[in-house]
Chains A and B, each alone.
Chain A
Amino acid sequence: MTDREITITINGLVKTARVEPRRTLADFLRHDLGLTATHLGCEHGVCGACTVLLDGETVRSCLALAVHADGHEVTTVEGVAPPGEMHAVQKALWESGAFQCGFCTPGFVMAIYGMEQERAAGLPCPRSRAEIREELSGNICRCSGYQKIIDGAEAVLAGEGDR
């Protein structure tokens, strides 16, 4: 297969690379760029561990190809806060004791970060626990039983990070 040249803005940095057209965005991020925060839990679009933002929308990087992202902006967990710091979403999830093994965590952080960005922009976003549960139904966590993830998401979507 002929490699294609792509240019993607990843976490604010412009990257140009040659990739096989079949290479997934997740593999490109993880193995070509060494951005290993994005995890692969099922590779068929169900578990949500590989969730990243593509032009601000949450997508499954296991189902997207790297070439799909050509000319677009990708945000991963590495990009939500400066190194050594945490975003309000991460702080809220830390405070609530949300996670255990941590493998699904990047996907949840990105999904909730996506909601938080919408809230911050004044767009509609889930607020109640039931709405948050529904909105997070595309992310699977095997350890936590979700309750403390919902606690953290609820806090941050109530605007806790603004205070």
Chain B
Amino acid sequence: MSSSVVGGIVGAKIKRREDVRILTGTGRYIDDAGDRSTLTAHFVRSTVPHGRITELNVDAARELEGVVAVITGPDMAAFTNPLALGAPIPGLNSATYPALAVDTVRYVGEPVALVVASDRYVAEDAAGLIEIDYDILDPVVSSTDALAEGAVQLFEEVPGNVVYRGGFEEGDVEKAFAEADHVLVDHIDQHRWGCAPMEGRGGVATYDRSTGQLTYEASTQTSHLLRLLVSGFINQPIHLMRVITSDIGGSFGLKFSIYREDVALCAAAKHLGASLKWVEDRNENLTAGGAARDETVTIEAAVRADGTILGLKADMVMNSGAYPIMPPAPVVTNIAGYMLPGPYRVPAYRFKATAVATNKASYISLRGPWAVETLVRERMMDLIAKKVGISPVEVRQRNLVPVTEQPIISGGGFTMEGVTAAETFEKLVSMIDFDAFRAEQKAALAEGRLLGLGVGTFYEPAPGTPEFWGKIGFPFGAEPVRLRIEPDGHVTAFTTQIPHGQGHETTLAQVVAEEMGVAYEDVRIVFGDTDATVFTMIGTGGSKAGMMATGGAMVAAREVKERVITIAAAMLEANPDDLEIKDSVISVKGAPASQVPLAQLAMGCYMAPGMMPQGLDLNLEATAIYDGENGGWGQGSHACWVEIDQETGKISIPRYLVVEDCGKIINPDVVDGQVIGGVAMGLGGMLLEHSAYGDDGQYLAGTFMDYLMPSAPEVPEIEIVHMEFETATMVGSRGVGEGGTVLAPAALLNAVDDAFAQVGGTRITQTPLTPTRVLEALGVIEKD
């Protein structure tokens, strides 16, 4: 059965309701929370990458006027449990750690003490009075350092700094490589970069001594998981803990993790019986909030002389930073591993992964955390094309699996079905005049201008399938929605999604309105509050909302609607099959005179059940789950045009084209926004952003003057073409938030490779593509 959400409200270009408060400045972000009794909490952080604390003197700070408390690591350890954020995953060796450092610090920015004061100015004054001495230990910065023989070990319980080793094999890899006409090898050393939402982390923790209840208003993507973990770490009975969220100023994966700051803040609020607010500043966010990518991959391809792939091997090493955090390393490496063969026919495949501990902030999730697989695979496709003498277009066409030839078993060994990467690629190719570009490229070169064009394609779990997540070792999960028809016929739906820019208040209201037959304006979406919403482990993340939350809203609406129809049928003495709900009125199809307004029916159910038809279910509230059936995939193809200034090393992007397929579009502006923002992030990550560490482990990018964010002139105009392939599942929509960021780095680097090839530049194997690195590759300046 195809999606029933067709026509009308779903799919319409409806202006987002969130925007009214966003544009008028009436939103409530985390620094807007709290009241006059709320105190400020400020973390004092390590300035060294690795060391033993030999002295921590907080006396002067405690005496400063306006300071309520200064809590040290040992103080905090007395009323919190060690943080165990690893998961019982085979091969994972995850260290536990205290909320505040007790004796050893392992990254610049690690929280050492917590100051509680009347306001932030006083708190920072007090922080300046705290004296800390360290016995400096050798830092371990790169993955190579961490794995070196005799390397300094970060944790006693993590031998050789190896947090995780794993891998798998599908098909006969040895045979594939033995029979190959060519074996190609490539390598990428991707730098560390981060989420950097415009609003950092933060929360307001309030302990009510009279009830023993702790309320944590948090800037989080995942309120129920936060509640579950924090309550355990601070010995707060979970039923006496409530997490609420309001507007969230972006996240991109950052606020999926549960941080030691969350634990320390909630523990301190409980300990002091107070209301405490922590809002991190930009320096804290960039230094201590964690960052992502920071991985190397070596890939080998066995191919026939015509460019057909026979087999792949990949070896990934992830720099996990010092302290393990959500998601566990193997979840990221496994997704990368299983997605790496991509939408191509790959008969044999071997993947190995290693995650290591280093003296950096934690490795966290960032929009398509597995994206490096697409980067190495799509660059390898171009290498294969070059090797066998065909175009980048042709090599992909020869290896892609058209949707009509599915289901088949993917290179990763799971069923691939409904994947339209090949179709998006054909559409992309049809929109590009390659001959004209080659002529332009040649003419430009004659004028000393260097142009390049790169393409790429991919698919992603959006949300994936139960079988796929079984291989990853992570639950697929169902999506619950609680839905209530109010006494006046309005509808309130409680989602477990926690929107932070995705517009779920609008899109889910569109879905519910369409299903129920009520006006869009009559539907309200409630989110975040753990007292109101149904438990799920993941809130918003993993491109789940498009399909799963939509499905949850549909099944909940259908369940309640069925009850309404049954009641109305009795009231109208009609056959339920003949009834419909339109504009909040239940009527007999074709005989609109026989009708009852939804508001009248609802009021009757709530206020005068004795006067309603008897023996029927008059409960107008239901909680239903959508299990996602066999899930689904998101996919797309990109083309990137670059011009490289051979004097300055600057890469500009005159044109960028996206063909995406996330299935049925619920709201076109929301989908376009996700695609454009995703591409901008992928390009920024490759060209500008770098969570850089010195060889000494010192953090070097603590401000937006060092950590360069893409601004409007750097981001190209992005052309988007939509394809809306629908599978057999009830919901025709799939996730779209991550794909732009996953594929853009590959399209960009392929374009740069293409440009470099015009002048014999050295192929880039290390990111970011800074002007210095570009000029080195072009031979304009000597390599450092």
A-side residues, CB < 8 A to B, are 20, 22-23, 27, 30-31, 36-44, 46-47, 49, 76-78, 81, 86, 90, 93-95, 97, 99-106, 109, 129-130, 132-134, 136-150
Contacts and interface: CB of A to CB of B under 8 A. Distances in A.
B29 A46 contact: no
Given A22-B121, A43-B281, A147 B717 contact: yes
Contacts of A94: 15-16, 19-20, 23
Given A31-B119, A146-B715, 7 more contacts: A39-B29, A39-B198, A44-B703, A46-B709, A78-B25, A101-B250, A140-B709
Given A39-B29, A49-B198, A103-B250, A97 B713 contact: no
A142 B282 CA distance: 14
Interface string B11-39: 00001101111111111110110000000
B249 A39 contact: yes
A94 B249 CA distance: 17
A94 to B, nearest CB: 5
A127 to B, nearest CB: 15
A65 to B, nearest CB: 12
Interface string B712-727: 1101011000000000
B677 A36 contact: no
Contacts of B28: 36
A40 B31 contact: yes
A63 to B, nearest CB: 13
Contacts, number: 176
Nearest to A77: B25
A90 B23 contact: yes
A134 B673 contact: no
Given A142-B197, A143-B677, A137 B121 contact: no
Those 4 A-B pairs whose CB atoms lie nearest each other, nearest first: A37-B25, A103-B249, A102-B22, A145-B680
A39 B776 CA distance: 40
A97 B281 CA distance: 28
18 contacts: A37-B25, A42-B703, A43-B281, A44-B282, A78-B25, A97-B670, A99-B19, A137-B712, A140-B198, A140-B709, A140-B711, A142-B197, A142-B198, A144-B680, A145-B680, A146-B715, A148-B673, A149-B712
B242 to A, nearest CB: 23
B66 to A, nearest CB: 12
Contact of A101 (B26, B501, B681, B717): B501
Q: Which of A40, A76, A129 has the most CB of B within 10 A?
A: A40
Nearest to A141: B198
A100 B677 contact: yes
A23 B704 contact: no
A27 B586 CA distance: 53
B367 to A, nearest CB: 10
B375 interface: no
Interface residues of B, number: 55
B673 A97 contact: yes
A136 B251 CA distance: 23
Contact of B711 (A36, A101, A137): A137
B543 to A, nearest CB: 15
Nearest to A81: B24
Nearest to B27: A102
B360 interface: no
A86 B673 CA distance: 22
Contacts of B503: 100
A157 B16 CA distance: 22
A103 B26 contact: no
B704 A140 contact: yes
Nearest to B28: A36
Q: Which of A41, A100, A149 has the most CB of B within 10 A?
A: A100
B11 to A, nearest CB: 15
Contact of B25 (A27, A36, A133, A148): A36
Nearest to B669: A97
A148 to B, nearest CB: 6
Contact of A143 (B23, B281, B673): B673
Interface in B235-251: 247-251
Given A37-B25, A38-B25, A149-B712, A100 B198 contact: no
